[in-house]
Amino acid sequence: MHPRTTLLLIVLLAAALGSWYLSRSKTPAYDSGLPLDSVYRGYYLKQARILGTGSDGTLLYEIEADRAEQQEDDRIEFTTVRIRYSPESDVPWVVNADRATLREGAPQITLSGHVKILNSGKTKGEDTEIRTQFLELDPNTFIAETDQRVQIRFGTRSVTATGMLASLNDDRIELKSNVRGKIAP
């Protein structure tokens, strides 16, 4: 081998080792290979069905929603919601709303946007319908409450009020203030 070729190989080897060393020292100490993403990634469900049980473990109610999404602050947001009690609970009320929020560890469900509670009576004309824009429902105790404007229709009769407390298992509704009604025979 010629001294010129040997010198060229030594220079190329030194350049290769130098570039390897410089490129290695610029990489971070820990690289998981995954891109850094600070966005919270909770779960979401389409056509969700969530079951609530009583203290004895039997089915008490079910929540159906077009979409359920876990949020960062331990709450679940639902869209296009329907809450029904099980036939065994003997509570004939069905609750519908545009949106609902359920917080982890809290029994109350906050409903908003075109909230409608419907109790279909045994015969036609006995239907009772409650409408409001905001409602808090505790499905375990069957209590629904709001401080917002409420409209209640039962048959051809209609009552409006500001605020309501309803016990769905007792079919009892207490109106809080500004009660006005239209009752026709």
3-state secondary structure 65-81: EEEEEECCCCEEEEEEE
pTM of the model: 0.72
Q: How far apart are CA 81 and CA 67, in angstroms?
A: 8
Q: How far apart are CA 153 and CA 62, in angstroms?
A: 25
Instruction: For each of the domains in the chain, give its residue range(s) and CATH number, in order of start.
Output: 44-182 (2.60.450.10)
Nearest in space to 167 (alpha carbons), one of 127, 138, 134, 131: 138
pLDDT at 65: 96
pLDDT at 54: 84
pLDDT at 66: 96
pLDDT at 22: 76
pLDDT at 144: 95
pLDDT tens digits in sequence order for the chain, 185 residues long:
678 888 888 888 888 888 877 777 555 555 555 565 556 567 888 999 989 888 888 899 999 999 999 888 889 999 999 999 988 888 889 999 999 999 888 889 999 999 999 987 665 567 889 999 999 999 989 999 999 999 999 878 899 999 999 999 888 999 999 888 877 66
Give the contacts of 27 (CB within 8 A, at least 6 positions apart): none
pLDDT at 31: 56
Q: How far apart are CA 100 and CA 135, in angstroms?
A: 9
Nearest in space to 17 (alpha carbons), one of 28, 9, 27, 5: 9
pLDDT at 29: 57
Report the first-to-last Cα separation within the chain, whole angstroms.
118
pLDDT at 30: 58
pLDDT at 162: 95
